[in-house]
A and B are shown apart, each in its own frame.
Chain A
Amino acid sequence: MTVAASPSPGAPLVDANSHHRGFLRRYIFSTDHKVIGLQFYFSTLIWFFVGGALALAVRWQLAWPWSEMPIVGRMLFAAEGGQISPEFYTMLVTMHATIMIFFVIIPILAGAFGNFLIPLMIGAEDMAFPTLNMFSYWFMWPAFACMTASFFVAGGAASAGWTSYPPLSVLHDAAPGSGPGQTLWLLGVVFIGIASMLGSLNYLTTIIQMRAPGMTMLRLPMTIWGLFITAILQAFALPVLTAASVMQLTDRLLGTGFYLSEAGGQPLLWQHLFWFYSHPAVYIMILPAMGMVSDIISCYARKPLFGYRPMVAAIIAIAGLGFIVWGHHMFMSGMNPAMGTTFMAATILIALPSAVKVFNWLGTLWGGRIEFTSAMLNALAFVSMFIIGGLSGIFMAATTVDIVIHDTYFIVGHLHYVLFGGSTFAVFAGTYHWFPKMFGRQMNEFWGKVHFLLTFLFFNGTFFTMHIIGMGGYPRRVAAATAYAEFARFEPLNVFMTICALGMGFTQLIFAANLFGSLIWGRRADRNPWRANTLEWTAPSPPPHGNFDFQPVAYRGPYEYSSPEVTADFYPQNQPPDAEPATAAAH
C-alpha cells in the first residue's frame, strides 16, 4: 500500500509540545498517554499487593481454620484469640476478587498497557482525546476511595461475593458487609464503569482514526487488536453492568425492589445483567494479554506470528461469542434448564477460537530461534497455563458435568489458571518486555528469571491442586469445610496449597524489588533493545511527549522476523523497503 499523502483530517492535536509544564501537570494531572499509562500501572501494582495479601489471609484460614493468624491476627482480632471471624472471611473472598478483577487485571491491561502502547504502536502522537484520557484515570480514584473506605465502615467491606448476588447484597440485614460497605462497593463499580467507558471510547476513536500512514487494520500488532476488541467489549457490555448496579443501588438506598422477590422483582435478573457484562469481562481480562503474548512470542522466537489472520479472526470470534454465553454461569441458578443447553452449545464453541490461538502460538515457536528472556518465559508460561485454564473450562461448559463442579474449587482453579496463569503472567511478560520503553532502562534479567521460576512453580502448586479438591466436590467461599465429613480428607491438600500460596505471595516481593531497583540501577536501554519490529521501538526510550521524532509510516506487518528479504533477523514496520536494514531504525 502506498503512503497516504493527504494531510491529517483529524482535529488539531492537543498542544503536544507543551514541554514546560509544572510537575503537577507533567506527572499528576498529565494528559500524556504514557504518563497516564504509568499512573495506571503503579496504582494497580499497589492494589495487586493488597489483593494478594487478602488472598493469603483466605488461604491461611482454609489451611488452619480458626487458628490464630500470624501478626495480623493479633492486630485485628485480639479479643478473640487472633482467629479470623467468618464474616471477615467472606469479606476477604469478596474483596480479593473485586480488587484483583476491577483494580488490577482490567486496569493494568486496558489502562496501563493500553494507554502506553496504543498511540506508540499505531504511530500516533497521543490519544484522540488526551484530556478525556486523563479523566478516565482520575475517575478510578473515586472508585479507589470507595473501596478503601468500605473497609472502615460499620460492618466492613462488601461480603456478598464479587458477583454481588441479590438478595444477599440488597437486604441490609442479610450480611454484615451488606451495610454501607456494599453501597460503597456498588458506587465503586459505577465509577470504574465511567472510567472504563471513557477509556474505551478513547481507544476506539484513536485506533480507528489515528493510525500512521500505511498502518492498515491488518498491519496492527496483535496487542492493538486485543485492546481494540477489548474496548468494543467494554463499550457495549459495561453500560449493562452500570445499569444493573444503579438498580441495585436504588434497591438498597431508595427502596425499589428489582431484585427482591417479595416486592415482585426477580433475583435472577441481576445474574443475567451481571453476567451479560461479566462474561465479556472475562475476555476483557484475557484478550489484551493474548495480544501482548503474541507480540512477545513472535519477537523472541524471531519468527513471524503463525497465522496472523486466523489469530485476528479468533479474537473477533471470541469477543462475538462472548456476548451470548453469559448463561453458562447460571446453569445451576434456577434458570430454565432448556436455556442451559443453548448456552452450553455457544460456550463450547468458544473453545474453538481459543484452540486456534494456542495452536498458532505453538506454530510460532516451532522452527524459531528462541531467546529465553524473562519476558519470553512469562509469555511461554501464559501459553502453558492458558492451555490448562482453557481445557478445564470445557468441563464446566458441559452442563451435566457442571452439576458436580459448579461452585467448587474446580472453578476457583480454572479461573486462576486464566486470570493468574493467563493475564498476570502476560502482565509480567509485558512488564519485562516494555520496561525499557517505559523507563529507558533494562530490568534485571537474573532476578526476573528467579521470580519467574518461583512464581511458576508455586503457582502450579497452589492452583493445580484446586482441580483435585474441586473434583472431590469441595465448595468455594466456605470459610471452613469442617462442618462436612466429606471434605475433611482434603485438609492436607489445603495445607499444601497454602504453603505454595504463601511462597508465591512472597515471590512477588522479588518482582517489586526488581522493578523499583531497575528503575534506579537498571542498565540504560537504547531504542530497540529486543530488535523488535513494531513502531514503539523506533521512538526514543522513553519516548518524549509527542512520542516520535519522525513521521512513522508502516510499510509492512509487525511480524517480519527473519525475513529472507533482509539480512538482519528483523525488519521494522517503518523501514522503507529499499533501505538496508538493521541500522535505520535502531540507533
Chain B
Amino acid sequence: MGKFWSLVFLSVPVLGVAVFVAAASWGYWFPQNVSAHGGQIDHLFMVILWLTGAVFLATEIVLAVSLWRFDGAKSPRARFSRGNMRIELGLAAVVGLLLVFITVYQLEDWAEAKIRQPDLPPTVEVNGRQFEWVMRYPGPNGELGDADDLFSPGDLHVPVDEDILVSLVSEDVLHSFYLPNLRIKQDAVPGMRIPVWFRATETGVFDLVCAELCGWGHYKMAGRLIVESRADYEAFLTRLEAEQNEDGFEEQQPTAANTSQRHPSVAEVVYRRAAR
C-alpha cells in the first residue's frame, strides 16, 4: 500500500504545478493590468511564486519519496536518529536568507504604493456608503469640498497616463476601495481620510469592487472605473457639470421632455461593456 499512498501524496505537487500552468494558459490568471505600478506587484507575486513553488516541490517530493522508500512493509527497521543539528541550522539559514530577501526585495514597492504620497491636489474624493460609491470631483474652481463640486455615483472617471490622487472616505461602515486591474486596494474607514494614488496606462472600463464586508448588499456595491483620454475626461466633467446644473428649461417643447435625460456617455459605456 505504501506505493499507492506515496502516489496519492505525489499527486499534490504534480497536480499543484499542473493547475498553475493550466490556469495561466486558460486565462485564469491576474486581471489585466492597466496601471503603472501593477506590473511591479505582479512581478513580486511571481518572484514569491517561483521561490515558494521550488520549496513546495522539493518538500512535497521528499515527502512522497520517503513514503515510497520507507514503506514499513518492506523496510526492516527504522534508522535510529534523534536529529542533526547541522542540517537543521543549515536549512534554517537558507530559509532565513530567502525570507530576508523577500522582505527586503519588496520594501521599495510598498513605499511606492502606500507611503510616498505624490504631491498633488486630490483629483477626486471617493465616498463609500452602503451600498454605492459616490465620486466627488472639484468643480470649475478646482477646489474639492465646496459648493460647486460635481457628484458622480458609481462611475469613477480618470484621465489616462496621469498621476491620480484619490481621497478616500466612508460615510457609514468599513468599505474597501478595490481596483483589481490597477492593483489598488484600500479600506475606507469612517472618520478617516485616506489618500490612494495610481496612474492608469490604458483606456477602458474596469471594475470598482468593494472588498470589505459592508452589510447585506456588499455583493452589489459595484462601481466602474472609466479610464479615458484627457479630452474625454474634460468632456466628462463638462457634461457632469451641465447635467448637475440641468434645469430642464430648454426642454420646453413637451415632445422633447422624455428624451435624452440619460447621459450619452453612460449609454455608450453600457454598450461597450456589453460588447466585451
Contact = CB atoms under 8 A, between A and B. Distances in A.
Is there a contact between chains A and B in the complex with CB atoms less than 8 Å apart?
Answer: yes
A470 to B, nearest CB: 11
B82 A366 contact: no
B216 interface: yes
Interface stretch (B41-49, B119-127, B226-234, B255-263): B41-49
A337 B186 CA distance: 11
Contacts of B77: 302, 369, 562, 569
B23 A468 contact: yes
Contacts of B242: none
Interface string A382-422: 01100110011011001111011011100000000000000
A162 to B, nearest CB: 10
A268 B190 CA distance: 10
Contact of B110 (A400, A478, A481, A489): A400
B82 A308 contact: yes
Contacts of A387: 55-56, 59-60
A310 interface: yes
Contacts, number: 320
B140 to A, nearest CB: 31
B18 to A, nearest CB: 11
Which of B9, B95, B96, B174 has the largest count of A CB atoms less than 10 A from its CB? B174
Which of A266, A301, A394 has the largest count of B CB atoms less than 10 A from its CB? A394
Nearest to B56: A391
B79 A367 contact: yes
Given A341-B110, A370-B70, A400-B109, A161 B28 contact: no
Contacts of A366: 62, 66, 70
Interface residues of A, number: 112
B130 to A, nearest CB: 7
B142 interface: no
Interface string B166-191: 00000011101010110111111111
Given A395-B48, A486-B181, A360 B172 contact: no
Nearest to A359: B91
A174 interface: yes
Contacts of A486: 31, 180-181, 206-207, 209
Interface stretch (A163-171, A278-286, A513-521, A574-582): A163-171
A121 to B, nearest CB: 20
Nearest to A330: B187
Given A387-B60, A484-B209, A262 B191 contact: yes
Interface string B212-246: 11111111111000000000000000000000000
Contact of A352 (B72, B92, B114): B92
Contacts of A563: 80
A473 B174 contact: no
B9 to A, nearest CB: 6
Interface in A335-375: 337-338, 340-341, 344-345, 348-349, 351-352, 355-356, 358-360, 362-363, 365-372
Contact of A388 (B56, B78, B106, B173): B56
A334 B273 contact: no
B78 A369 contact: yes
Nearest to A453: B8
Nearest to B168: A334
A403 to B, nearest CB: 5
Contacts of A493: 28
Interface size class of B (residues with CB under 8 A): 35 or more
A167 B41 contact: no
A403 B183 contact: yes
Nearest to A93: B213
A144 B227 CA distance: 51
A236 interface: no
Contacts of B87: 359, 363
Contacts of A564: 80
A370 B71 contact: yes
Contact of A90 (B59, B79, B206, B218): B218
B219 A483 contact: yes
A479 interface: yes
B67 interface: yes
A472 interface: yes
Nearest to B211: A407
A404 B186 contact: no
Contacts of B206: 486
Contacts of A559: 82
A562 B82 CA distance: 11
A371 to B, nearest CB: 4
Contact of A395 (B45, B79, B103, B180): B45
A569 B173 contact: no
Nearest to B12: A384
Which of A301, A465, A483, A493 has the largest count of B CB atoms less than 10 A from its CB? A483
Contact of A368 (B41, B66, B273): B66
B204 to A, nearest CB: 11
B83 A310 contact: yes
A368 B70 contact: yes
A274 interface: no
B147 interface: no
A453 B8 CA distance: 8
A471 interface: yes
B88 interface: yes
A352 B89 CA distance: 11
Contact of A478 (B40, B91, B130, B218): B218
A127 interface: no
B25 to A, nearest CB: 12
A362 B65 CA distance: 10
Contacts of A341: 107, 110
B266 interface: no
A531 to B, nearest CB: 12
A367 B87 CA distance: 15
Contacts of B67: 365, 370, 372, 380
B43 to A, nearest CB: 10
Contacts of A465: 19
B249 interface: no
B59 A456 contact: no
Contact of A344 (B12, B91, B103, B218): B103
Contact of A399 (B42, B110, B176): B110
Interface of B: 1-2, 5, 8-9, 12, 15-16, 19-20, 23, 27-31, 40-42, 44-45, 48-49, 52, 55-56, 59-60, 62-63, 66-67, 70-72, 75-85, 87-88, 91-92, 95-96, 99, 102-103, 106-107, 109-110, 113-115, 130, 172-174, 176, 178, 180-181, 183-192, 194, 206-207, 209-222, 273, 276
The 3 closest A-B pairs by CB, nearest first: A261-B191, A307-B83, A87-B216
Given A395-B45, A473-B178, 9 more contacts: A334-B186, A349-B99, A367-B70, A380-B9, A380-B63, A388-B12, A400-B40, A407-B176, A475-B210
11 contacts: A302-B72, A310-B83, A332-B176, A338-B115, A341-B110, A351-B99, A362-B59, A370-B2, A388-B16, A403-B183, A485-B273
